């Protein structure tokens, strides 16, 4: 018996911002720079009165509908997010209430851009428990409210959105294993410096930029181009497969230029990486479940395909799930 994906769903807010719109907003960038360096063209941005749990609930609702499961039959709701509604309580619990999953447990997983890979692994183990039939794993992020819109080295990369998978036990295909790692010595490569317990957000710090998302892009590049390959090599090895057996890689949608280098390093054709970042940009912990949903629904994923997710980002953290579709 394995954990299998019974349903998928996604939600992105309706407002779309193009690279040229960013220029029109006064950001010192160009459509050409963003396309060449990242492959991104569009991103969806939430309105001011929307929060992460709104996106999560809509994606979760779509996955439940796809699976034919009622909200009250969900046993556990796991939410990967690094942009919670509030520091506490958990955004998973707020989402649970919005969805009406009245009989479920609920908790957040924060592993930033690899959050979904971690949450999916936890969910795929939990659903094998005899007392659990339905585990809903959601990735939801609303980075537009945590970005510094005056910092062109971060604000152009991200979009808002949510994706979800509904897991059940299956005796056909399913999750073959996961590989999860972290290296906290690199924690400052991606962080929001102020607003937590290390540095409370004082009146003096508001407006300093310390309350917003920071990223050392070159350091991320150097880290991710190594860990992408490591994660896929190790997850396949653990499950008794070879890298060549992988039919689809569903990567964190960070940067197509970087993903191309990673696929070359692995010896896999670039075409085996499923990409949708030109439409949604980097949705952090939501990017992989959004891509899983689109790959499932546009017919890319065929029964029996070997699919490897790969996530990497803040923590630093990285990992992969191997799935037989
Ligand atoms: C950010 C990244 C594209 C930088 O590539 P690079 O070729 O090393 O570029 P540099 O940082 O040296 O910047 C090149 C120039 O572009 C400029 N630049 C940076 N952001 C820019 C933007 N949005 N628009 C236009 N120019 C920009 C820089 O200021 C620099 O100008 P300079 O040469 O006059 O100093 C690359 O490091 C990257 O994509 N990293 C990964 C980020 C990522 O995936 N994050 C997701 C985390 S999960």
Torsion 11-44-264-222 (CA) sign: negative
Question: Which band of pLDDT confidence, cut at 50, 70 and 90, is reported for residue 315?
Answer: very high
Q: Considering only CA atoms, which residue is closest to atom 18 of ligand 1?
A: 153
Residue 259: phi and psi, rounded to 5, are: -65, -35
User: What separation in Å is there between the alpha carbon of 39 and the centre of ligand 1?
Assistant: 13
Task: State mean pLDDT over 48-62.
Answer: 98
Protein residue with its CA nearest to atom 20 in ligand 1: 153
Domain count, the chain: 2
Q: Residue 10: enclosing H or E segment and its boundaries?
A: strand 2-11
Q: How far is the CA of 217 from the centre of ligand 1 (A)?
A: 6
**pLDDT tens track for 78-94:** 999 999 999 999 999 99
What is the average pLDDT across 143-151? 97
- Residue 161: the pLDDT is 98
Mark whether 255 is an active-site residue.
no
Q: What is the pLDDT averaged over residues 8-19?
A: 98
Considering 153, 172, 191, which residue would you say is the last residue of a domain? 172
Mutation to probe ligand 1, out of 217, 258, 275, 283 (largest number of atoms < 8 A from CB): 217
Angstrom distance (rounded) from CA 143 to CA 121: 24
Mutation choice for ligand 1 from 25, 150, 221, CB with most ligand atoms inside 8 A: 221
- What local confidence, expressed as pLDDT, does residue 158 receive? 98
Note whether 208 and 161 are same-domain residues. Answer: no
Question: Would you say the CB of residue 33 lies under 6 angstroms from ligand 1?
Answer: yes
**pLDDT tens digits along 215-240:** 999 999 999 999 999 999 999 999 99
Measured distance CA(289)–CA(146) in Å, rounded = 21
Query: What is the CATH classification number for the domain harbouring 77?
Result: 3.40.47.10
Residues 202 and 98 in one domain: no
Mean pLDDT of the region 177-187: 98
Catalytic pick from 19, 110, 276, 282? 282
**Token couple for 234:** 């190790």
Global pTM reads 0.97
110 catalytic? Reply is no
Chain-centre distance for alpha carbon 106: 18
Residue ID of nearest Cα to ligand 1 atom 38: 217
- Measured by CA distance, the residue closest to atom 22 of ligand 1 is 29
From 80, 117, 218, mutation site for ligand 1 pocket: most ligand atoms within 8 A of C-beta: 218
Atom of ligand 1 nearest to the CA of 37: 3
Same domain, 163 and 183: no
- Mean per-residue pLDDT of the chain: 98
- pLDDT at residue 249, rounded to an integer: 98
User: Are 71 and 220 contained in the same domain?
Assistant: no
Confirm or reject: Cβ of 113 under 6 Å from ligand 1: yes
Residue 306 pairs with which residues in a beta bridge? 324
For the chain, give percent helix, strand, coil, nearest 5.
40, 25, 40
Residues 204 and 255 in one domain: yes
* Statement to judge: residues 151 and 260 lie in one domain: no
Tokens of 134: 């339905």
Catalytic residue, candidates 19, 51, 110, 113: 113
Segments of 122-273 assigned E as strands:
135-141, 161-170, 174-182, 190-191, 214-215, 248-251
Sign, Cα dihedral of 65, 66, 68, 73: negative
Residues 43 and 8 reside in one and the same domain: yes
Between the alpha carbon of residue 256 and those of residues 4, 253, 278, the distances in Å are: 29, 8, 9
- Report the C-alpha gap between 75 and 122 in whole angstroms: 13
Model pLDDT for residues 19-28, shown as the tens digit of each residue: 999 999 999 9
Q: Say whether both 193 and 299 belong to one domain.
A: yes
Residue that finishes a domain, picked among 172, 187, 219? 172
Domain limits at 35? 2-172
Using the 3D structure, point to which of 172, 199, 230 is the last residue of a domain.
172
pLDDT score of 37: 96
Catalytic residue flag (residue 252)? yes
CA distances from 31 to 3, 185, 252 (A): 42, 35, 22
Measure 153 CA to ligand 1 centroid, in angstroms: 6
Regarding whether 159 and 85 lie in a shared domain, the answer is yes
Same domain for 67 and 128, yes or no, is yes
Atom 19 in ligand 1: residue holding the nearest Cα? 153
Residue 140: CB atoms within 10 A of its CB come to 39
152 close to ligand 1 (CB < 6 Angstrom): yes
Gap between the Cα atoms of 176 and 240, Å rounded: 9
pLDDT per residue as tens digits for the range 249-285: 999 999 999 999 999 999 999 999 999 999 999 999 9
Neighbour tally for 282: CB within 10 Å: 23
- Answer yes or no: is the C-beta of 313 below 6 A from any ligand 1 atom: yes
Query: Same domain, yes or no, for 143 and 196?
Result: no
Please give the average per-residue pLDDT across 118-147, as a whole number. Answer: 98
135 and 123 both lie in a single domain: yes
Give the confidence band of 13 by pLDDT, cuts at 50, 70, 90. Answer: very high
304 DSSP assignment:
T
Per-residue confidence at 174, pLDDT binned at 50, 70, 90?
very high
Give the number of other Cβ atoms within 10 Å of residue 123's Cβ: 26
């Amino acid at each position: 018996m394995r954990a299998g994906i019974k349903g998928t769903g996604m939600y992105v807010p309706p407002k779309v911002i193009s690279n040229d719109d960013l220029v029109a907003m006064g950001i010192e960038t160009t459509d050409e720079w963003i396309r060449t360096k990242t492959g991104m063209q569009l991103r969806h941005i939430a309105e001011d009165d929307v929060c992460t749990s709104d996106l999560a609930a809509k994606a979760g609702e779509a996955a439940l509908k796809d699976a034919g499961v009622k909200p009250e039959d969900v046993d556990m709701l796991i939410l990967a997010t690094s942009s919670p509604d509030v520091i506490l309580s958990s955004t998973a619990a707020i989402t649970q209430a919005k969805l009406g999953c009245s009989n479920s447990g609920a908790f957040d997983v924060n592993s930033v851009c690899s959050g979904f890979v971690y949450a999916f692994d936890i969910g795929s183990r939990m659903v094998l428990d005899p007392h659990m039939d339905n585990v809903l794993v959601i990735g939801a992020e609303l980075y537009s409210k945590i970005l510094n819109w005056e910092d062109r080295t971060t604000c152009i990369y991200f979009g808002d959105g949510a994706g979800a998978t509904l897991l059940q036990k299956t005796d056909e295909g399913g999750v073959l294993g996961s590989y999860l790692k972290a290296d906290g010595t690199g924690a400052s490569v991606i962080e929001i410096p102020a607003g937590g317990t290390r540095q409370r957000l004082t009146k003096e710090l508001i407006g300093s930029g310390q309350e917003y998302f920071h990223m050392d892009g070159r350091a991320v590049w150097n880290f991710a181009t190594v860990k992408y390959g490591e994660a896929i090599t190790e997850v396949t090895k653990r499950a008794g497969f070879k890298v060549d057996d992988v039919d689809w890689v569903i990567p964190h949608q960070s940067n197509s230029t970087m993903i191309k280098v990673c696929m070359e390093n692995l010896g896999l054709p670039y075409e085996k990486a499923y990409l949708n970042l030109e439409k949604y940009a980097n949705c952090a912990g939501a990017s992989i479940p959004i891509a899983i949903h689109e790959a499932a629904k546009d017919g890319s994923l065929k029964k029996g395909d070997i699919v490897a997710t790969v996530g990497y980002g803040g923590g630093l953290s990285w990992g992969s799930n191997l799935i037989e579709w």
